[in-house]
Amino acid sequence: MKNVKKENYTSGYALITGATGGLGRAFANAIAKRRCNLLLTGRSEEKLIALKNELLEKYALNSVQIYAVDLTEEGGRYAFMERIRAAGYKIRLLVNAAGVDVQKALAEYTQEKIAFQCRVNFEAAVSLCRFTIEQRAERLEIVNISSVSGIYPMPYFAIYSATKAALTSFSVALREELKGKNAAVTAILPGAMPTREDIKEQIKGQGIWGKLAAKSPQSVAEYSLKAVGKNKAKVIVGFWNKCMRFTTAVLPQRWKLKFIAKRWSKISKDSF
């Protein structure tokens, strides 16, 4: 297969999940700036229409298609894929940004909420990777948005942390499967980003630590696309987050678990 320049996004489409969220929207803008046509998903048709209008006004794009779909529902997800297949859109870049960060003790979860979080954060991302391989343009790049929260097990944030660890592991493995096939996978591990109000409050509540670790969604999107251009397998976003990873790696697991449990047991959040 002929090699297409990695930075060239003008052929094919970029498919972005979670496009109506803070990071997804930042990716949509960063990719639109590179003149790549877009396939955008989120659950709210209203938010998607507003985003589409905004992008068409700001950038010289030929095509922005929107799909309101709940990615946890298999039927809806398959129908959404079928619409893309039938339209013949070829995917050059997939950004799996949809994600839900429920934070509480497992005992406080309903069974439905467990399935919901696992499906959005992991199952849907894997499912879209599979679909994209079939519906790919000549070159394919996949960006899976994981999190630094997946680096260590996190009591009271256990499901989120486990789904992100799974997504990182999956991304690295899939990258190997796609080697030599003009396709690449990059896992992005951001720290906190002030996207929603509850996250902004949480960052503020962490004082100087929160400030040091947080990055704007715009800078994370730009940094991620640069990492894709450099064909990176896995990147932790931000100097502070990289330092934390490096310095805490040598600490015994039981210390880390104790510290995380103490800190996180005080926080409970569920915006979904």
Ligand X SMILES: NC(=O)c1ccc[n+]([C@@H]2O[C@H](COP(=O)([O-])OP(=O)(O)OC[C@H]3O[C@@H](n4cnc5c(N)ncnc54)[C@H](OP(=O)(O)O)[C@@H]3O)[C@@H](O)[C@H]2O)c1
Q: Which residues bind ligand X (CB under 6 A)?
A: 18, 20-24, 42-44, 47, 70-72, 97-101, 120, 145, 147, 190, 192-193, 195-196, 199
CA–CA gap between residue 242 and residue 60 (Å, rounded): 36
Supply the minimum distance, in Å, between the C-beta of residue 97 and ligand X: 5
**Residue closer to ligand X, measured from CB, 20 or 186:** 20
Other residues' Cβ atoms within 10 Å of the Cβ of residue 232: 15
Supply the minimum distance, in Å, between the C-beta of residue 240 and ligand X: 13
Supply the minimum distance, in Å, between the C-beta of residue 175 and ligand X: 19
Q: Could you tell me whether strands 183-189 and 234-236 are parallel, antiparallel, or unpaired per DSSP bridges?
A: parallel
CB contact at 8 A, 136 and 88 = no
**Residue closer to ligand X, measured from CB, 12 or 42:** 42
Query: Exposed (0-12), middle (13-18) or buried (19+): which is 96, by Cβ within 10 Å?
Result: buried
CA–CA gap between residue 94 and residue 141 (Å, rounded): 6
**What's the gap between Cα 127 and its chain centre?**
14
**Residue closer to ligand X, measured from CB, 4 or 68:** 68
Other residues' Cβ atoms within 10 Å of the Cβ of residue 28: 26
Please, which residues have CB within 8 angstroms of residue 239's CB and are 6 or more apart in sequence? none
**Residue closer to ligand X, measured from CB, 13 or 157:** 157
Supply the minimum distance, in Å, between the C-beta of residue 120 and ligand X: 5
Supply the minimum distance, in Å, between the C-beta of residue 5 and ligand X: 28
**Residue closer to ligand X, measured from CB, 12 or 99:** 99
